[in-house]
Amino acid sequence: MAAQSSFDITSPVDFQEVDNALNQARKEVGQRYDFKDAKAEINLSTADKTLTLIADDEFKMTALWDVVQTRLVRRNVPVKNFKLGDPEASGGGTVKRVITIQEGIPIEAARDILKYIKDQKLKKVQASIQGDQVRVTSPSKDDLQDAIRVLRAKDFGIALQFGNYR
């Protein structure tokens, strides 16, 4: 029997890099003229995997999220894994937005990935869900390369990372 080659599809978030990006964003917000004498808070909860933004109004909320997004992108943190919540009124006339951080591949996205791989009719390529990741196996490394190429072309709503290729 031929040896099976495989790779894993994951969607990790490095919370240390997120924290570094948020510290840079706080620094930038403190120096910007449009945020002078305005309330703008950025709070990260790694236990709940949430990011909370608080601003004076909807306009400042949008500007605050743009600053945070820019810093996350510069630190190579996948912004696709941040799911925006609806802005809600908070105490003191401020606006609050809770953003959930998706770490790992959710089960719905994993099922979509499996279905997509099967629909592509790649020869002898098999995929299986293993916790919060997906493992793809095949006897041919060329077929695995084709699977990676096909998966990169499709958007599943989360940032996919391909690793553990052997």
What tens digit of pLDDT does each residue of 11-53 get? 999 999 999 999 999 999 999 898 888 889 999 998 999 999 9
Closest CA to 72 of 14, 21, 24: 21
Note the pTM of the prediction, 2 decimals.
0.84
pLDDT for res 1: 46
Contact present, 143 and 123 (Cβ < 8 Å): yes
How much is the pLDDT for 140? Answer: 86
Residue 129's Cα: distance from chain center in Å?
19
Give the domains, in start order, of the chain with CATH numbers: 5-12+105-163 (3.30.70.860), 15-101 (3.30.70.990)
CA distances to 12, 97, 128, 152 from 135, rounded to whole Å, are 15, 35, 5, 15
Tokens describing residue 17: 């890099």
Amino acid 111: pLDDT: 92
User: Backbone phi, then psi, for 136, in 5-degree steps?
Assistant: -115, 130
Calculate what percentage of the chain has a pLDDT beyond 90: 57
